[in-house]
Amino acid sequence: MDMSKNNKRKISAFILCGPFICTFIIAITFHSEIIFYNPMRFLKGLITPSIIFPMIAAFILITPIGYLLGCIPAIITNLLFKHFFASKLALASWRYSLIYGCLLGFMLAPFILIIAIVTPSPLFSFLYLQFVLILPTTLICTFIEWKRARNRQDINE
């Protein structure tokens, strides 16, 4: 039992939570047109079983695909995090941890730019990927890693 707890702590939040957070953000942004332009239709859909159950089933089916597609960016982000910020995180305040998360998100900008160039609307794709998808995910995962580092520091003291 202790061994499984140690393995859970060794898996980075970027690999464990990152693909799920990105999948969730993508699902929400795909529904944003309905949410903003016709909110009553969206709210009626939330209470209608014929709409909400297929939405939940689709999200359950989409999550593994999100993990498969998000594995490579999560591993790259985890490697960047460990190389640049992991040693500084335990002594940092929560504000600095969020700054580290922003810097980590902006480190991925060249990769995102390469991906966005091949799309039909590169500016929109870059802005969506960078500021809606990557930056919030790196902020959340860096904050989770900061909390883990603080908890390990409290346990060791």
Residue 156 falls within a domain, yes or no? Answer: no
Q: How many domains are contained in the chain? A: 1
Note the residue count of the chain: 157
The more confident residue out of 36 and 105 is 105
Residue 1 has a pLDDT of 46
The mean pLDDT of the chain is 87
Is 19 contained in some domain?
Answer: yes
pLDDT of 86 over the 50 cut: yes
Residue 122 lies in a domain: yes
**Domain-located, residue 141:** yes
In a domain, 50, yes or no: yes
Answer whether residue 9 is part of any domain: no
Pairwise pLDDT comparison (68 vs 31), residue with the higher score: 68
31 — pLDDT class (breaks 50, 70, 90): confident
What is the pLDDT, as a whole number, of residue 90?
A: 82
Q: Is residue 4 part of a domain?
A: no
Pick from 111, 21, 104: nearest CA to 67 = 21
CA of 59: how far to CAs of 13, 31, 69, 75, in Å?
21, 12, 15, 23
pLDDT band for position 139 (50/70/90)?
very high
pLDDT average, residue stretch 19-27 = 91
The residue segments making up the domain with residue 37 are: 14-150
